[in-house]
Amino acid sequence: MFTAYRSAFVQRGAMAFCAAGLVSRFYIGIYPLGLLLLLAIPSGQYGKAALVSGCWTIGNAVASPASGMFADRFGQYKTLLISMVAHVALAVMTISSVALDAPILVTLLLALLLGASIVNTGSMVRVRWASMWPGHTAERSAAYSVESVLDEVVFATGPLITAVVAVQVSPYLAVACALLLTVSGVTWLLFQRRTEPPIREAVVRKHRRLAVRCPGMPLLLVAQVAMGATCGAAEVLLVARSNELGHPEGAGIVLACFAIGSGVSGILYGSRHWTAPTSLRFALSASAFGLLPALYLAANSLTALMTCSLINGLTMAPTIINAYQLVDEFVPAPMQTEGFNWFGASLSLGFGGGTAAVGKIADAIGARPTFVVPVVCAFLASTVACLLHMRVAASSTRSVASSRAARRVTAQSS
């Protein structure tokens, strides 16, 4: 059953850069909540704290494509080294600004730059997988599945670790943990030069356009923004609905059920070699993703909410895995880090937008009816995914027809 996973990791160095990538991207699950608690715990106020956390998220999302482009042009080693030095300096400055009670505008600017200074090592690891297994779809699919499951590990455990450390020990230590893990993972990845993808300068010069302009990418990114908005809105509403049901302590369990469902489905999905076109698989998994959030509207107990969360999580990882494989197909190899980073940025921006959109609505009318927002966003994501598949299928049909016509002309002329 797990032959594909064993095959993917048989190459020398695969396990090492996969582990380094996991350690280095724990910041995703720690920094946003860590910065929030860094300001909120001492003051008891969440307004400024949320702004600082939001600035970090925006900085990380906006700068991500640029850092990916830099990595494609100049290599992962230089990109990681420069970003790590800048990140350490900005982390120290951000923590110091909070400790010294600096003006809020200074802290906001530093948080924005702090988020921008971190490179998306998850994208870099996926590019290493693509470089290690060119043309081997089964191994690459398994590798992308592993990375998606590891993303779920980060999202599930990162906030939990942050909350425990910040509340029980110190919020400063929680942010310091994010910094330590980032530096450790990036340093580990830095010294793995053997598996670093080569820079093909001639090909890089040929592909000067942005990865986002590659055919298929705009529609894919729109779908990912909608998916991110679905997840962001659902996360806020699951917490709010747990409170409405009288079980505020159960919110963490409800969110964990989603991560568990996604992780399990990701492992099972990656264990098989799929022969259907990637765009079709993406459309099918996205369609399931688009339909299932409606279940939240019927959840009248914490148990029902947990069950709905688990079921919805089952569709997440396969959809993300297929989407990453589409980036792999749409974007030329010398631009793939940038392409993967555009993908991650679209998810982050959608997540932030979904989170911001539902808060006041839920306060006004309650969490249960507000679940209409993620239901609509999920339906939009599935609709765009189906449209993308139709365009890819039509393009493939035209290519086959053109190829056949060319062969007929060649045969007649000979």
Instruction: Compute the distance between CA of residue 339 and CA of residue 250 in angstroms, rounded to an integer.
Output: 37
pTM exceeds 0.85, yes or no = no
Q: Where are the alpha helices (DSSP H) in 331-371?
A: 336-365, 367-370
Instruction: Say which amino acid occupies 101.
Output: D
Phi-psi region for residue 118, left (φ > 0), alpha (ψ -120 to 50) or beta? beta
pLDDT of residue 139: 78
Crossing angle, helix 251-270 and helix 217-244, to 10 degrees?
140
- CB under 8 Å to 174, separation ≥6 — which residues? 30, 33, 34, 37, 38, 161, 162, 165, 166
Asked whether the beta carbons of 65 and 212 are under 8 A apart, the reply is yes
Task: State the CATH architecture for 206-414.
Answer: Up-down Bundle (1.20)
pLDDT of residue 378: 95
Q: Is 297 helix (H, G, I), strand (E, B) or coil?
A: helix
Asked whether the beta carbons of 111 and 52 are under 8 A apart, the reply is yes
CATH C-level class of 10-196: mainly alpha
* N-term to C-term CA, the chain: 50
Query: Distances from the Cα of 172 to the Cαs of 31, 37, 97, 175, in angstroms?
Result: 11, 9, 12, 5
Please indicate whether the domains covering 10-196 and 206-414 agree at the CATH topology level: yes
Kindly list the domain boundaries of the chain, sorted by start residue.
Answer: 10-196, 206-414
pLDDT of residue 2: 67
| pLDDT by 10-residue block (mean), the chain, 414 residues | 74 89 88 83 73 83 86 88 94 93 91 90 88 76 83 81 83 91 93 84 58 88 93 84 83 83 87 85 95 92 93 92 89 84 88 78 85 94 95 73 52 55
Crossing angle, helix 137-168 and helix 302-330, to 10 degrees?
130
pLDDT of residue 20: 93
pLDDT of residue 403: 53
Phi, then psi, of 9 in degrees rounded to 5? -95, 5
Tokens at residue 223, please?
A: 């779908």
pLDDT of residue 315: 93
Q: Tokens 């306060």 map to which residue?
A: 363
Asked whether the beta carbons of 342 and 217 are under 8 A apart, the reply is yes
Residue 294: name the closest of 312, 314, 316 by CA: 312
What is the maximum alpha-carbon separation in the chain? 83
Q: What is the DSSP string of 252-287?
A: HHHHHHHHHHHHHHHHHHHTS---S-HHHHHHHHHH
Instruction: Compute the distance between CA of residue 80 and CA of residue 21 in angstroms, rounded to an integer.
Output: 12
